[in-house]
Structure 1
Amino acid sequence: MAPSELISLADDEGNSVTVTVSGRDPRWSAGLAAEIAIRTPFVTGRLDLALYASKLDGWKEALDRLDAGQDVAWMEMSRGPSLRIQLNGERDCPEVVVDDESGSMVTVRVPILLPEDWIADHRQRLRQVMDHWIPLLSASRSE
């Protein structure tokens, strides 16, 4: 089975933000179709997303900065949604901010109590997604 869950940030309060890869993007052979899903007791939403190798590299860099104690913004300079992680949010816990300024013009801020090992877990998730999907994307470009 292909690895699909690139990001899974969730807590026991029912708050979560996930990024799930569903396969090759049918509109662009060098990209992956994915979605960002937000679930809280108050708001639920989802947003389609196209991922490609440089965005996955950007997530790796973001994880490195988070590990060094820095807040990050992932995909901030591209079209489509961005995801920011603030380690010390407004409610004295980490917050994930999903911003869809170029589409729906909606921003959702989700406080999430993260486990101690969440960065290591996400490095493993990224490695699994890249090991499986990047060779397939590279092969489709050379066909």
Structure 2
Amino acid sequence: MRTWQDGAVDLIRLSDGGNSVRVRVVGRRAAGILPLHDLLDAELYVESSFISGRLAICFDPGDLQAWSQALDALATGHDIEWLDQGNDPVIKVEFSHDTQGDITVLVEDGSGSGAVAAIPIALDEGWIAEQRELLQEVLQAWPSEVLETSPGAYEWR
């Protein structure tokens, strides 16, 4: 498992050496407290020669499942949107139709700052498999431990 000194683990790491987008999970939002225990705090980093930014985000196990499904769609050449829930920033990955292996990652913070960043990234073959490995590391580090038994009712797994 790839961890850093502070215990954080990357969920998304897309970089070509010059431009990068990274989502780094830093831990549980409210460890030990039902129903918030499974919420994960993370930081979204966007870096290029032109801009650099960081945004705090939070997601739940359903968002991790949605990321897994997004990776399936990317593997078949489809563009994706992730975290599009109205209040969170939206991360879009779009394939370049001109150059094979190139993508553009769009980060839209509509409900917060209103900023939009479009980061072109030239990725090496195998990048989707690398993202799947990162997802598995996050799922191992912070497994889902809360079960919703009925609407609004929770218990430990």
TM-score normalised by structure 1 residue count: 0.88
1:5 to 5, 10, 13: 10
d(CA) in 2 for partners of 1:3 and 1:34?
9
SS at match of 2:39: strand
| Unaligned stretches of 5+ residues in structure 2 | 148-153
| Unaligned stretches of 5+ residues in structure 1 | none
d(CA) in 1 for partners of 2:61 and 2:74?
20
Are the counterparts in 2 of residues 7 and 20 from structure 1 also a CA contact under 8 Å?
Answer: yes
d(CA) in 1 for partners of 2:155 and 2:75?
33
Higher helix fraction (1 or 2): 1
Q: Which has the larger radius of gyration?
A: 2
Q: Percent identity?
A: 33
After TM superposition, list the pairs within 5 Å mapping 1:1-143 onto structure 2.
1=3, 2=7, 4-12=9-17, 14-26=18-30, 28-88=36-96, 92=99, 93-135=102-144, 137-138=145-146, 142=156
SS at match of 1:70: coil
d(CA) in 2 for partners of 1:98 and 1:82?
6
After superposing on structure 2, the runs of 4+ consecutive aligned residues of structure 1 that deviate more than 4 Å are none
Counterpart code for 1:46: R
TM-score normalised by structure 2 residue count: 0.81
Count of residues paired in the alignment: 140
Are the counterparts in 2 of residues 60 and 126 from structure 1 also a CA contact under 8 Å?
Answer: yes
| CA root-mean-square deviation | 2.3
d(CA) in 1 for partners of 2:155 and 2:28?
12
